[in-house]
Chains A and B, each alone.
Chain A
Amino acid sequence: MLNLTANNIFKNFGGLEVLKDVSFTVEGPELIGLIGPNGAGKTTLTNILDGALKPSSGTVYMNGERIDTRPPYGVARAGLGRTFQVTRAFRRMTVLENLLIPAMAMRATARQRDFEEKAQEVLEFLTIAHLRNEYARALSGGQQKLLELGRLLMLDPQMIILDEPFAGVHPRLMEVIYRYITETNAEGKAFIIISHDMDTIFTLSRRLLVLNYGDLIADGDPEVVREDPLVKAAYLGEDEE
């Protein structure tokens, strides 16, 4: 059973407090939305969970193991995968190679052909199987986003953090991504989804975290959070009027 615990995370960038005492726990395959206005610290929090940044103070545990001291690849191996706000496909490698990298990185003795079948399944699920041998740079922006999601399936983590998965995506692809999230979640992977798309995030997630200038101001059921006066004042109020 997955357990991710972030304890009292602080982060300063040269005196600027970006995160102030953020604590939360994820237990089991939850589907969590992380929202907040621009500059709230969402991406910083992602980077800290992922190991790309070290917190100024505080700890992160995953299944009882401390992960905030590990480098990003150590965190990935512990079972946490993520996407980036800007798509970061390996542009001059083929789609298939893109998918093989995380699978190979996770297992020291594996060979490429062991994963080709699984890669094919993932590609079919994401509707980009025909692009298998194309270079990633030849894909459209939305397809590259799907490719990133596919890489995460090959990594097979217990928890997935998606940074703005719906931003700038064609409605058709949005459907694929939506299906990806719900089905993968049903298979037992936890999700944290950062998004500006309020409607999607409210219908999709079953728990909401709200960051406001480094403070975690709300944590709970979306319907409850929506009515929270703090959240309204800080964020939703201005947005919905």
Chain B
Amino acid sequence: MENAAIFGWALLWILFWGALGGVVTPRIYGRKDLEISQASFGGAVIGAALGPFSLLPLWVATPKITNRLIGIAIAIVVGIFIAAFALADPDNLCVANGGFVISQLANGIVIGIIYGLMALGLTLIFSILGVVSFAHGEFYMIGGMVTYFISAKWLPGVSPLVAILASCIVTFAIGYVFERIFLRPMGSGEIERPTEYAILVTFGLAFFLQYFTQALTSAVPVKAQRFFPFPRAELPADSGALLRMTPGNVTIFDAISIPNPRFTAAVLALIMLAALLWFLYRTWVGKALRAVSQDRQAAAVTGINPNSMNTLAFSMGAMLAGLSGASLVQVFSWLPQVGIPAAARSFVIIVLGGMGSLPGAFLGGLIVGLVEAAGTGCIPDATRAAAYIPAYGMVILTLVLLLKPTGLFGREL
């Protein structure tokens, strides 16, 4: 990076005014007896956006901090961030090569869809049971493992769809059994301080599943073959300027290049997402689930059994994680430990999107996918970047928890 200093100063500037805005704004709003629930977060982003030029008018005029205002401020912050980056490192592929940027964006969205699907499982569990499953990453890992072992070891040649289906069944079953034995007693008041219990017991499950898988499969990384290779095709037929497909890759407009495994994984995720939406909004059971997430007691009065909804939600959440793993085992190499970063990513996504919010989880997934794509593609010092990648999400997580614990779409705490 040539002018790293420019970028560093820009970052410092954003952080300084953001912190100042976050701390001072609620006091000013409080002194004027105005609504302060948004003031801390709003002040922080508005301060980060234009520094003193936006903070002073804000403090003088004290307008109502609307979501729209916050949205504009966030857009400005992102803009400044990108501009500073471009100035600091004009030769970077991310700045100089438009095709690369679009490709990275497309890949970020594609992977973000799958992250979103996994986080959707976690948020589904949270919205019904009110617990965060710390074993979510292990369901993801098991989904991938089952798919790999069926398609590559035990039944080679069988359709990958069978393997994916099997992984769904396995993760659903583990989730079902676990919920029945360990989480069901929470509802009956048999267990004191259920929230803490849930944290620890899902943590124990993660520990158990991880070592169990490791004991069964050993710690050698595995990777599945492409599930559905593309046919070879070119459009128009001779040049391939619009669309060029090889078994392992698809190139659109000669610019956007997406590897086949990612593409099929995203398509699988979208199909599953559609199925999930259909289930939640069109079937009786799905409606019952949503009813329970909104008001347990009222739902129980109408004859829904909240306990069985708990079981269903947990098993389905586990299955969604398993499915994400199943579709990604052809993308990444797979180890018993892959669940940990994946789970961490899901935590980031659901906190960012708002705990318990389904659209929030999906949008959060896309954002995290994009940020990661930008992080891997754009940062010049590759080894350092790789080491820091897990931290980016965690920085987002801690900031959201401190500034706006409800996330993008969360309900009030």
Shortest CB-to-CB span from A184 to chain B, Å, is 33
- The proximity string for A residues 69-84 relative to B, scoring 1 for CB distances below 8 Å and 0 otherwise, is 0000000000000000
Selected from A14, A91, A92, the residue in CB contact (under 8 A) with B35 is A14
- In the complex the two chains form, is B192's CB within 8 Å of A92's CB? yes
- In the complex the two chains form, is B33's CB within 8 Å of A56's CB? yes
- In the complex the two chains form, is A57's CB within 8 Å of B192's CB? no
Shortest CB-to-CB span from B411 to chain A, Å, is 13
Chain A residue at minimum C-beta to C-beta distance from B33: A57
From 117 to 171 in chain A, residues with beta carbon under 8 angstroms from any chain B beta carbon are: none
From 12 to 47 in chain B, residues with beta carbon under 8 angstroms from any chain A beta carbon are: 30, 33, 35, 37
* List of B residues within 8 angstroms of A91 by Cβ: 192
CA distance A57 to B37 in the complex (A): 15
Q: A12 on the interface (CB 8 Å rule)?
A: yes
- In the complex the two chains form, is B37's CB within 8 Å of A14's CB? yes
Shortest CB-to-CB span from B401 to chain A, Å, is 21
* List of A residues within 8 angstroms of B192 by Cβ: 91-92
- The proximity string for A residues 33-62 relative to B, scoring 1 for CB distances below 8 Å and 0 otherwise, is 000000000000000000000101100000
CA distance A92 to B30 in the complex (A): 38
Shortest CB-to-CB span from A233 to chain B, Å, is 31
CA distance A158 to B37 in the complex (A): 34
Range of interface residues on A (Cβ < 8 Å): under 10
* List of A residues within 8 angstroms of B35 by Cβ: 12, 14-15
Chain A residue at minimum C-beta to C-beta distance from B193: A92
CA distance A57 to B31 in the complex (A): 9
Shortest CB-to-CB span from A57 to chain B, Å, is 4
* List of B residues within 8 angstroms of A10 by Cβ: 33
Chain B residue at minimum C-beta to C-beta distance from A57: B33
* List of B residues within 8 angstroms of A56 by Cβ: 33
- The proximity string for A residues 6-38 relative to B, scoring 1 for CB distances below 8 Å and 0 otherwise, is 000010101100000000000000000000000
Shortest CB-to-CB span from A80 to chain B, Å, is 23
Chain B residue at minimum C-beta to C-beta distance from A58: B33
* List of A residues within 8 angstroms of B30 by Cβ: 54
CA distance A224 to B411 in the complex (A): 45
From 233 to 289 in chain B, residues with beta carbon under 8 angstroms from any chain A beta carbon are: none
CA distance A227 to B251 in the complex (A): 84
Shortest CB-to-CB span from B146 to chain A, Å, is 42
* List of A residues within 8 angstroms of B37 by Cβ: 14
Shortest CB-to-CB span from B193 to chain A, Å, is 9
CA distance A170 to B273 in the complex (A): 54
* List of A residues within 8 angstroms of B33 by Cβ: 10, 56-57
CA distance A15 to B37 in the complex (A): 12
Shortest CB-to-CB span from B287 to chain A, Å, is 28
Chain B residue at minimum C-beta to C-beta distance from A56: B33
CA distance A12 to B35 in the complex (A): 8
Shortest CB-to-CB span from A102 to chain B, Å, is 23
Chain A residue at minimum C-beta to C-beta distance from B412: A14
From 166 to 182 in chain A, residues with beta carbon under 8 angstroms from any chain B beta carbon are: none
7 more contacts with CB within 8 A, not counting A10-B33, A12-B35, A14-B37, are A14-B35, A15-B35, A54-B30, A56-B33, A57-B33, A91-B192, A92-B192
Task: List 10 A-B pairs, Cβ < 8 Å.
Answer: A10-B33, A12-B35, A14-B35, A14-B37, A15-B35, A54-B30, A56-B33, A57-B33, A91-B192, A92-B192
Of all A-B residue pairs in the complex, the 3 with the closest CB atoms, nearest first, are: A57-B33, A56-B33, A14-B35
Interface residues of A (CB under 8 A from B): 10, 12, 14-15, 54, 56-57, 91-92
